[in-house]
Amino acid sequence: MNIRVARKEDCARLMELIHELALFEKAPEEVTVTLTEFEEAGFGTKPVWKAFVAEEDSFIHGFGLYYIRYSTWKGCRLYLEDLLITEKSRGKGIGKLIFDTLINEAVDKGYNGMTWQVLDWNEPAINFYKKYNSNIETGWLNASLSKEQINLLKSDPGL
């Protein structure tokens, strides 16, 4: 298994894996990004994400996609957006290879830590992260606005 930096030509396969993750997380309709948007965000003039892929015989079995997050309390931190190993390839240590690569990336770049989210019902993932003695917090609620909500709010003269 080879762990390497993702390339633009990997994006179509990464999108397949992103859809697999969305199915696993019971939210397939939530993936709205297009392949073109995804490629531009990773490899365009202003890339915002990077990823490592696990590849064997020219087939990508998984990936870890991240970006840099700035915390006013902690400074620059690697934010792991997604770590996914395709279902057929789980249990072979691929997740550990990618996660260890991400840890090395954070150390090599001098970041002040790593952060990520895990669903409270995803026991296999929680157990995986616990092996690293990671802090799994409670008490924070996720909040967001969709593109549609932002556009509605912007057009509301009462704001």
**Is 129 part of the annotated catalytic residue set?**
yes
Instruction: Give the ranges where the chain is alpha helix by DSSP (H).
Output: 11-24, 35-43, 94-108, 123-130, 147-155
Other beta carbons less than 10 A from residue 112's beta carbon:
13
Tokens of 7: 């390339």
Helix (H, G, I), strand (E, B) or coil at 99: helix
Distance of CA 66 to CAs 2, 29, 81, 101, 131, Å? 18, 22, 5, 12, 20
Which residue in the list 67, 111, 129, 132 is annotated as catalytic?
Answer: 129
- From CA 39, how far away is CA 144, in angstroms rounded? 23
Beta pairing, strands 75-85 & 114-116: parallel
Q: Catalytic amino acids?
A: 129
